[in-house]
Chain A
Amino acid sequence: MNSVFSRRVFLHAAACTFILVQGKALGTAGKAFAATPKTRWGLIVDARRCANECAACVDACVRENALHSHDRPATDARWIRKVRVTDKTTGFVSRFPVMCQHCASAECVRVCPTGASYRREDGLVLVNRHLCIGCRYCMLACPYKARGFVHEKTSKQAPGSPRGMGTVEACTLCVHRIDAGGRPACVEACAKAGHGAMLFGNFNDPTDPLAKRAVAFAVTALRPELHTDPGVRYQGVTP
């Protein structure tokens, strides 16, 4: 009787230790993938300031990343698109650019078989083209249709945006500029054009103008019911 009781106690203790150890391992594993609290890059797009006939952000992106057009709009690379949206009931018109939303819980990162689609600790969602096999599953998964596929051979690539045939691509938030202390080409072009509809900054830094604006005004996410927690937020756009 004694030995049975002590064996049961031993087994219980072993199981609990095992579970605790696994839990700790899970906990630490989880931490390695969590975003650092110091930086979360993002954009706030103010649709009310987006001008009617302007395509400065789109043109700047094409120039910066050498997205040469082949006059085939269905397959040409387009990392940012300007949409014009009319409310069916009220008739209210708004226009704003849509690009990769750099989600905190990105669908594309979850479904990529090789892990080529990944989220950097500072919030950018990027494609590691060394690992991309071109299965295009992330293109199906993205709720914003932000990902594109390189259908043709690339030439005269921009030095900051390597892109090659057979891989998937999307807006990188001009990572080569950000890492050198700058801001994305679209944001700069919008500022230069005098509209100032796009603001770039760090959501996690309370002194950053972006963070201050996000706290003070209502910024919305696209498709909020999908809980993607995007890094691109909008003012003047009702989801």
Chain B
Amino acid sequence: MNRTRISNSKAFLVLLGISLLLTLLGAWAALRIESGGHILTGMNNSVPWGVALTLATFLLVAASGTLNLASLSSVFGREAYKPFASFSALLALSLLAGGLFTLMLDLGRPKDVFLVLNHFNAASVFSLNIVIYAVFFLLVGLYWLLTIFTPQGRGTRVFGFAAFVWRIILTTGSGCVFAVLAGRSALHSALLPPLFIALSLSLGLAVSVIALYKAGIASERPFAALCQEDTARGMGNLLAILVAVTFYMAATLHLVGLNSPPVRSFERFVLCSGGIFPVLLWGGFVTLGTLIPLILLLVPALRAWSLRLPAAAGCVVLGSFALMYTLIITPQVYPPEIFPGKIVEDVFYGTPATYEATALEWFVGLGGLGLAGLLSLFGMRVLPVLPNRFQPTSSQ
């Protein structure tokens, strides 16, 4: 058995404490917003979905993506990634829980969220997603337990395949939340769900790498003890490919947008004139999220640097968040083309809105991240999930 549990080291307790603090901060911020109203956030009637929801979507997309490593072993038969199967399944469950935590806390009336169960509108992608998340928990939870207790069993492969298919459905659902909005032409594109899938693949792998490093710190072991060098190099190459695919999808979306008359002025706004949004897109996504990781991962001279992989993964994570911010926030800031070909003299309909997230919104978003960290650390403490190269070590 080359999997262990994390032991109660000082580093583990510190990381656990940080996660707990973030979670409690998020819960406190949500309570403040619930009693004081959304006026305490930066959201307004033009920008109803802000940073907290961007972080929630980010966590949900990352959740399905972190199943990558598990899928590589259970579905695509790559034996090198087998030790990571239960680790990646645990990550997926934790990140999904964290994303849902943020999503529910950002509601205007969070206590009423269970109304969805009694009053269900099946035409709404939002409510269909709730069903998809629930089934994801079931499937991946079962798969996770199977990878721990019967890793060689046939059930593991069956549930691994089911989990893989379901995670594609989940990411498509997340993309469709935005893609079905016919009123927002900037989002109403068939390319958006595939972009989300590509993003989940690259972001998921990056988050898995960072989580492995975090687990290494928590268990006070070097990274080499968790992952062999050639596996790490394989992960690096895979990350480079996925980053390139994501860039291709995003570039196609914007290129096609530039050629669609309804969206052309919006594209000019997001690519050139929109202030913070072009900065995030070009500086955040293209430079930090695509070019720098590709350089780090593919340039031969840098191969010797031991922190090459986590640095690239960190850049990918930040770049993905920047992309998601521009995808979600910019179409709300830029006024919809209700009167094409006309100058509209009204602040609401004619000029781009301003949106500045307040600290409370960030706390609610980071609360989800904290919960994800909390659950994954707890899971690694309780069950043998952490891959360990050096055997034999402590048992289940």
Contact = CB atoms under 8 A, between A and B. Distances in A.
A166 B130 CA distance: 21
A140 B48 contact: yes
Nearest to B53: A136
A226 interface: yes
Contacts of B126: 111-113, 135, 137
With most chain A CB atoms within 10 A of its CB, the pick from B123, B124, B130 is B124
A83 B354 CA distance: 19
Interface string B31-75: 000100111000111101100000000000000000000000000
A83 B113 CA distance: 36
Chain B at the A interface: SS class: loop
Interface in A3-61: none
A88 B181 CA distance: 28
A215 interface: no
A179 interface: no
A113 B108 contact: no
A145 B39 contact: no
With most chain B CB atoms within 10 A of its CB, the pick from A111, A152, A153, A167 is A111
A166 B37 contact: yes
A165 B127 contact: no
A175 to B, nearest CB: 21
Contacts of A239: 339
A131 B354 contact: no
Contacts of B124: 110-113, 137
A151 B341 CA distance: 33
A75 B348 contact: no
The size bracket of the interface on A is: 35 or more
A88 B341 contact: yes
B184 A81 contact: no
Interface string A141-176: 111110011111100000000000111100000000
B304 interface: no
B386 to A, nearest CB: 37
Nearest to B337: A223
Given A113-B121, A165-B37, A166-B108, A75 B44 contact: yes
B349 interface: yes
Contacts of B184: 140-141, 143
Given A145-B349, A166-B109, A152 B39 contact: yes
B192 to A, nearest CB: 14
A29 to B, nearest CB: 12
Contacts of A226: 182-183
B48 A131 contact: no
Given A89-B341, A140-B184, A151 B115 contact: no
Given A133-B115, A140-B181, A226-B182, A74 B45 contact: yes
Contacts of A131: 112, 115, 119
Contacts of B110: 133
A132 interface: yes
Nearest to B127: A113
A35 B359 CA distance: 46
Interface in B82-109: 107-109
A85 B183 contact: no
B174 interface: no
Interface string B9-41: 000000000000000000000000010011100
A82 interface: yes
A133 B117 CA distance: 12
Interface string B249-280: 00000000000000000000000000000000
Given A75-B44, A137-B126, A143 B182 contact: yes
Nearest to A139: B48
Contacts of A70: 39
B349 A165 contact: no
Given A136-B49, A145-B336, A87 B341 contact: yes
Nearest to A129: B109
Nearest to A128: B119
B345 to A, nearest CB: 4
B180 interface: yes
B353 interface: yes
B190 interface: no
Given A81-B348, A145-B46, A113 B130 contact: yes
Interface in A75-108: 75, 78, 81-89, 98, 107
A222 interface: yes
A25 to B, nearest CB: 15
B116 A111 contact: no
B38 A140 contact: no
A115 B108 contact: no
With most chain B CB atoms within 10 A of its CB, the pick from A78, A149, A151 is A151
A149 B109 contact: no
A142 B46 CA distance: 11
30 contacts: A70-B39, A74-B353, A75-B45, A81-B348, A85-B345, A86-B343, A87-B341, A88-B342, A111-B123, A112-B121, A112-B126, A114-B119, A114-B120, A131-B112, A131-B119, A132-B108, A133-B108, A133-B113, A135-B108, A139-B48, A141-B184, A145-B335, A145-B336, A150-B37, A150-B108, A151-B43, A166-B108, A166-B109, A167-B108, A226-B182
Please list the 10 inter-chain residue pairs (A to B) with the smallest Cβ-Cβ separation, ordered nearest first: A134-B108, A143-B183, A166-B108, A136-B48, A74-B44, A113-B127, A113-B126, A139-B48, A151-B39, A84-B345
Interface of A: 70, 72-75, 78, 81-89, 98, 107, 110-116, 131-137, 139-145, 148-153, 165-168, 222-223, 226, 239
Given A145-B336, A226-B183, 15 more contacts: A74-B45, A75-B45, A85-B344, A88-B342, A98-B349, A111-B125, A111-B180, A113-B121, A131-B115, A133-B112, A134-B108, A134-B109, A143-B184, A149-B48, A152-B37
